[in-house]
Amino acid sequence: MKKKTLKTAAAIFAACMMLGSLAGCGSVENETTTAAAAEIKKSTEAAQTTKAETTQAENLSGTVTLAGSTSMKKLCEAMSEGFMETYTDITVTVEYTGSGAGLESLVQGSIDIGNASRALKDGEKEQGAVENIVAIDGIAVITDKDNSVKDLTAEQLADIYTGNVTNWNEIGGEDEAIVVIGREAGSGTRSAFEELLKIEDACSYAQELDNTGAVLAKVASTPGAIGYVSLDVIDDSVLALSLDGVEASEANIVAGKYLLSRPFVMATMGEISEQNELVRAWFDYVASEEGQSIITDIGLILPQ
């Protein structure tokens, strides 16, 4: 009797291991999540798709390829999802290789659009890349409401985040320890912030929080705290500091005066009007009402 149970148990175990390893083999999780997300979008947006768009969409088929900045992942995912809803026969593929690598592939002609989360360099422009700014990313530096410091220079801000300045009285404030709050490694806001201040991976954070809301709440409730969040989420519970005398506002960012902002560029070889119709359809979609609302929905600023 006992032997038999053992045998059965062994058989069950073996079967499970086999099935388990089968399940473990394919790395399908990414596709499933995007498919699920697309499914949700489909149900909400199907009703909004106009007839004109569907007829237009029927005529175009093919592939649009993008590559470049990892910071633009959120934008590209949302945009390509919406785009493929409208143009069902066009496939959009996006690779996240980094701004420089994306522009290199563009110049070599292996992709249609090169993504860059910075302005194009002169060299890149000379090679024929055209800078199409589709959105602007702005980051605000915030403190709790009782802080008397209203303005910081870029240098002071970098000193605070690298741990060279640890008390507000060193930079003209009250005698209050600075609680340095930031985001977790991998966050786009964090990489943009550190990149723009040129303090990549040199920061010493007292707290690393994993979402914007938590940063906002922590800064609001902790005396002496400093943090950074996307510009669009600022509310009355915190103070947004001006940097080098420039206030953190959409107008200043669009005008290019505010330090902690960067353009999201979808570069093409030659003007958009010279591109094939698939790429033109992509930029039409980005400029459409739907495309623009995708940009603002993920917290980015529309360029003028």
Partner 1 sequence: MTNKAKLHIVESAAKYIFTFCAVLAVFAVCSITVYMIAKGTPAFKNVGVSELLFGTLWKPTAAEPSFGIQYIILSSIVGTAASVLLGVPIGLFTAVFLTEVSGKRLAAVVQPAIELLAAIPSVIYGLLGLMLLNPLMYKLERILFAGSETHQFTGGANMISAVLVLAIMILPTVVNVSASSIRAVSKELRAASMALGASKMQTIFKVTVPAAKSGIMTGVVLGIGRALGEAMAINMVAGGSVNLPLPFNSVRFLTTQLVSEMGYAEGIHRQVLFSVGLVLYVFIMVINLLLLKLRKEAVENEA
Buried residues in 145-177 as b, exposed as e (16+ CB within 10 A): eebebeebeeebbbbbbeeebeebeebebeebe
Helix (H) or strand (E) holding 13: helix 2-25
Residue 247 · residue 163 · CB < 8 Å: no
Choice from 95, 131, 208, 247 touching partner 1 (CB under 8 A):
208
Site for partner 1 in 209-248 (CB under 8 A): 209-210, 214, 218, 221-225
Q: Closest Cα to residue 256, out of 294, 221, 303? A: 303
Q: Which stretch binds partner 1 (CB under 8 A): 86-94, 115-123, 147-155, 201-209?
A: 201-209
Helix (H) or strand (E) holding 183: strand 179-183
Choice from 41, 121, 127, 163 touching partner 1 (CB under 8 A):
163
Q: Closest Cα to residue 230, out of 131, 140, 136? A: 140
Identify which of residues 204 and 293 has a Cβ nearer to partner 1 in the complex: 204
Identify which of residues 115 and 268 has a Cβ nearer to partner 1 in the complex: 115
Choice from 56, 127, 207, 288 touching partner 1 (CB under 8 A):
207
Give least dist CB 121 to partner 1, A: 19
If you compute the radius of gyration of the chain from its CA atoms, what whole number of angstroms results? 24
Identify which of residues 6 and 19 has a Cβ nearer to partner 1 in the complex: 19
Identify which of residues 35 and 202 has a Cβ nearer to partner 1 in the complex: 202
Residue 148 · residue 250 · CB < 8 Å: no
Choice from 201, 236, 271, 289 touching partner 1 (CB under 8 A):
201
| Burial (Cβ within 10 Å: 0-12, 13-18, ≥19) of residue 229 | buried
How far apart are the C-alpha atoms of 149 and 156, rounded to whole Å?
Answer: 12
Give least dist CB 27 to partner 1, A: 9
Q: Which residues pair with 229 in a beta bridge?
A: 140
* Site map 11..40 versus partner 1, x via CB under 8 A: -xx-xxx-xxx-xx----------------
The residue ranges that bind partner 1 (CB under 8 A) are 12-13, 15-17, 19-21, 23-24, 70, 96, 163, 166, 177-181, 184-188, 191, 200-201, 204-210, 214, 218, 221-225
